[in-house]
Structure 1
Amino acid sequence: MNAPLGFHIDTFQNEYLPAGATRVDAVVTVTASGGGPSPAGGAAEVIILDCSGSMDHSHGKLAAAKNATAAAISAVRDGVEFAVVAGTDTARMVYPVTPTLITASPNHKANAIAAVQQLRAGGGTAIGSWLALARNLFGTRDGLRHAILLTDGRDEHETAAQLDVEVQASSGVFVCDCRGVGTDWEIAELRKVSTGLLGTVDIVADPADLVADFRTMTTAAMGKSVADVSLRLWTPRGATVRFVKQVAPELLDLTGRRTETGPQTGEYPTGSWGGAESRDYHLGLEVAAGGLGDVMLAGRVGLVRGSGATAEVLGQGLIKAVWTEDVAQSSKISAEVAHYTGQAELAGAIQEGLAARRDGDLDTATRKLGRAVQIAAASGHADTAKLLEGVVDVLDARTGTVRLKSAVRKADEMTLDTRSTKTSRVQKR
């Protein structure tokens, strides 16, 4: 029998502030260890497959998507509840036929795979309706609730406001990993879904790569142990929270997701966790200035399961502030805070540079993408540095001197944009 999942919190900061300073920054590392998959009866999986007309137009996308869905179904553990949904300008059940989840077994999984292989493409795309059906399938059940959503096109059969409503309604109900196949889908739309539902977004430019990707996502979901985990932050009276951001393994701004749960206390959703998993969070606080020599508890951060007074505390760390006249102490920058500040700038430079390139503002594009090259080189983010070489010729990485490529493959540009929020981990002391 697996031991319960354990959590440990480490706080990294320079707690020393000069006289009059009010801003406190800390990087909090949460590490999970031990544990194992949640009981099968406490997990649910929904696979949402785009079956719009464009999936059958070229490159064998529908056939590859069917095979990928079959791989995902095979990876669902027996005893886990699951369903497959076909998405067009509406959403409909593929397996089971009725709008409910069914318990995974060899027989049910074989039947689901057979039903998927019968799918045909046709119709439009309305991603919000797909989320609505998945939300209804998950219902109010507790435990791990995960969905995979695949599309190859833009959300053309509903308004942006309609999609926003469905994302908001699904927030907290399930976690959703999104994948775009090919290059005709809209990154901003899937990023909106994945961010709102605490999942990931990525491009699968070659449909042949879908099988491995779906299998990996489902296997990871099956390995989760604890659902509905939140970061709880207490701050002293008079303090304000500037931001709370997940900064590793990828950037996710949680600031606007705060739920007030007590005096000077709020909670931020982090989704589901499994063993051997670690995430970093950057917390920015504003406190009242103290006098020289004063010591303040600027924040207490914890990880909790559940919410409010009955929540189970899984781990806790402290954020401090000490005012000093020692310039050597107060001018030191935390390596962790500096690293992730740079990673956030890297993501922004990439996205702004690509947007400027698309708008024909080549000077801004060159400047922003050059800065991205410089940060990637300095922070050891080799994966991003390699992706940047698909859109610029690097003349000097150290100074960020680049030249825009005259011809760029759309897949290279979309891959760089999609993966701009993935971060490199700071080397812990």
Structure 2
Amino acid sequence: MARFSADVYQNEFLPDGGTDVHAIVTVACTEAGVAGQGGQGDAGEIIIVDTSGSMGHAGMEAAKQAATVALGQIVDGTWFAVVAGNHRAYLAYPTVQSGPGMVRMNAQTRAMAGRAIASFRPDGGTAIGSWLLLTRDLFGSVPGLAQKHAVLLTDGENHNESEVQLDAAIQRATGVFQCDCRGVGVAWKVSEVRKIAQALLGTVDIIPHPNQMAAVFAELMQASMARGVAEARLRVWAPQGSQVLFVRQVAPTVEELTGRGTPVNDLTRDFPTGSWADESRDYHVAVRLAARALGQEQLAARVQVVVRDEVQAQALVKAQWSADELLTTRINPEVAHYTGQTELAEAIQEGLAAKAVGDEGTATLRLGRAVQLAAATGNEEATTRLRKVVEVEDEGTGTVRLKREVDRADEMALDTASTKTTRIRS
């Protein structure tokens, strides 16, 4: 049975008139088990493969191999399906006209699905929203699925449907299933695919070369099968008269959860975290209180991990008003670290967006700030990726020059990795 723990890192002391409390809550899960075998219900997996004409022969062959490899990682007994998508979506396997659109994995169904994948041919355009809607319907066709996860591969922009149509499809899929998204090559749009992944509690990344797809898909499916906890929620209580400023995941990636809270009662909201393996994640919780007199104490927030409406772990965020400046001005290192990491993600994305529209001044300023933040927070991966896009003159001051010749894949890799964070150095 899975075990959860929760720990708080904060400076609880506020100055006279102080109102805002910040805390990092580290949640850890152990003994998560295997997807679909933890007593919460069955697991479902759907592999979504771009079969548009832009994939070409070589890309399509690599995608077919990757999808077949992913099939091999799905645990027997798991419900699964394969979706092929171009300017429309179709159910490649199982071949059914009614009833459940998924079947349980075993040696026979794995082989049949592999034969269906082998028949894929590149043709047509790209309408990712239709792929998401079919995936949503397929998961809905199997009653009692507790864990619903998909992997999505695309190589191009969503040309065959409007942004409004895609946004509507994302909205309909949100809360129904999780989806890890990967783009192969450099013709797809990072912001478009990131929007899907973030809404569906998944990840986004680039696969620079088709021959890397199989290894990536194997890793994605192995990770999904290791998530033995189908779904957990972060339950945040704050006292009467307070305001929860934000709740966001800050490790291993930055994910904004504030707008996703659902009310439990007048003082409590649940925030989705998706499925869990043996892992730990950090959350930044910020609450605004009414100021109290010096010497008074107050519980600022109660943060709980909830699985199937049962509390698995709890952490308390506290506030105490003090006239001692040595206490009130102390900076909590965890809070400072993740504040910097969140700003780093924003600086990278804003800098690349400015560069894309030819605003070199803003691009230089924001990417320079990103270099400064990456160095200060010890994010070596971000530093390495940034140096492929800018010439660094001084890390400490964030003085950089834009490189004139940049590999498009390097730029996209920096963009997709912008939300990845590093934990505080000991």
* Whole-angstrom CA distance in 2 between matches of 1:147 and 1:134: 8
Secondary structure of 1:153's aligned partner: coil
TM-superposed CA distance for 1:189, in Å, is 1.2
Partner residue of 2:85? 87
Residue 358 (structure 1) aligned to one of 333, 356, 359: 356
Structure 1 stretch displaced more, 151-160 or 290-299: 151-160
Please tell me whether residue 6 in structure 1 is matched to residue 3 in structure 2.
yes
Partner residue of 2:154? 151
* Whole-angstrom CA distance in 1 between matches of 2:167 and 2:283: 26
TM-superposed CA distance for 1:38, in Å, is 3.3
1:112-123 aligned within 5 A: 112-123=113-124
Superposition TM-score, scaled by structure 1 size: 0.95
Aligned residue identity for 2:380: A
Q: What are the Cα deviations for residues 107-144 of structure 1, in whole angstroms up to 9, with x where unaligned? A: 21111111101111111111111111111111153322
Structure 1 stretch displaced more, 159-168 or 314-323: 159-168
TM-superposed CA distance for 1:39, in Å, is 3.6
Aligned residue identity for 1:294: Q
Secondary structure of 2:145's aligned partner: coil
Partner residue of 1:402? 400
Count residues with an aligned counterpart.
Answer: 418
* Whole-angstrom CA distance in 2 between matches of 1:344 and 1:280: 12
Partner residue of 2:368? 370
User: Is contact 2:36–2:147 with CA below 8 Å preserved after alignment?
Assistant: no
1:53-202 aligned within 5 A: 53-56=53-56, 60-98=58-96, 100-139=101-140, 140-202=143-205
* Whole-angstrom CA distance in 1 between matches of 2:96 and 2:189: 31
* Whole-angstrom CA distance in 1 between matches of 2:139 and 2:115: 23
Aligned residue identity for 1:54: S
* Whole-angstrom CA distance in 2 between matches of 1:373 and 1:82: 43
Runs of 4+, deviation exceeding 6 Å? none
Aligned residue identity for 1:316: Q
Secondary structure of 2:110's aligned partner: helix
Please tell me whether residue 32 in structure 1 is matched to residue 23 in structure 2.
no
1:405-416 aligned within 5 A: 405-416=403-414
* Whole-angstrom CA distance in 2 between matches of 1:222 and 1:38: 5
Secondary structure of 1:157's aligned partner: coil
Please tell me whether residue 255 in structure 1 is matched to residue 258 in structure 2.
yes
Aligned residue identity for 2:269: G
Secondary structure of 1:420's aligned partner: coil
Structure 1 stretch displaced more, 357-366 or 144-153: 357-366
User: Is contact 2:32–2:276 with CA below 8 Å preserved after alignment?
Assistant: no
* Whole-angstrom CA distance in 1 between matches of 2:339 and 2:414: 19
Q: Percent identity?
A: 49
Secondary structure of 2:339's aligned partner: helix
* Whole-angstrom CA distance in 1 between matches of 2:145 and 2:6: 25
Secondary structure of 2:45's aligned partner: strand
Residue 294 (structure 1) aligned to one of 293, 296, 303: 296
Secondary structure of 1:74's aligned partner: helix
Q: Which runs of 5+ in 1 are unaligned?
A: none
Secondary structure of 1:177's aligned partner: strand
TM-superposed CA distance for 1:263, in Å, is 2.6
TM-superposed CA distance for 1:271, in Å, is 0.2
TM-superposed CA distance for 1:364, in Å, is 1.6
User: Is contact 2:340–2:373 with CA below 8 Å preserved after alignment?
Assistant: yes
TM-superposed CA distance for 1:398, in Å, is 2.0
* Whole-angstrom CA distance in 1 between matches of 2:334 and 2:96: 50
Partner residue of 1:303? 305
* Whole-angstrom CA distance in 1 between matches of 2:354 and 2:35: 45
Secondary structure of 1:406's aligned partner: coil
Secondary structure of 2:166's aligned partner: helix
User: Is contact 1:144–1:224 with CA below 8 Å preserved after alignment?
Assistant: no
Aligned residue identity for 2:377: S
Aligned residue identity for 2:124: G
Q: What are the Cα deviations for residues 181-236 of structure 1, in whole angstroms up to 9, with x where unaligned? A: 11111111111110111000001111111111000000010111112211000000
User: Is contact 2:186–2:208 with CA below 8 Å preserved after alignment?
Assistant: yes
TM-superposed CA distance for 1:252, in Å, is 0.4
Q: What are the Cα deviations for residues 371-404 of structure 1, in whole angstroms up to 9, with x where unaligned? A: 1111111111111101001101112222212111
User: Is contact 1:143–1:226 with CA below 8 Å preserved after alignment?
Assistant: no
Secondary structure of 2:417's aligned partner: helix
1:262-277 aligned within 5 A: 262-275=265-278, 277=279
Q: Which runs of 5+ in 2 are unaligned?
A: none
Partner residue of 1:49? 49
* Whole-angstrom CA distance in 2 between matches of 1:284 and 1:142: 34
Aligned residue identity for 1:48: I
Q: What are the Cα deviations for residues 354-378 of structure 1, in whole angstroms up to 9, with x where unaligned? A: 1111222212211111111111111
Secondary structure of 1:302's aligned partner: strand
User: Is contact 2:133–2:173 with CA below 8 Å preserved after alignment?
Assistant: yes
Please tell me whether residue 18 in structure 1 is matched to residue 9 in structure 2.
no
User: Is contact 1:180–1:202 with CA below 8 Å preserved after alignment?
Assistant: yes
Superposition TM-score, scaled by structure 2 size: 0.96
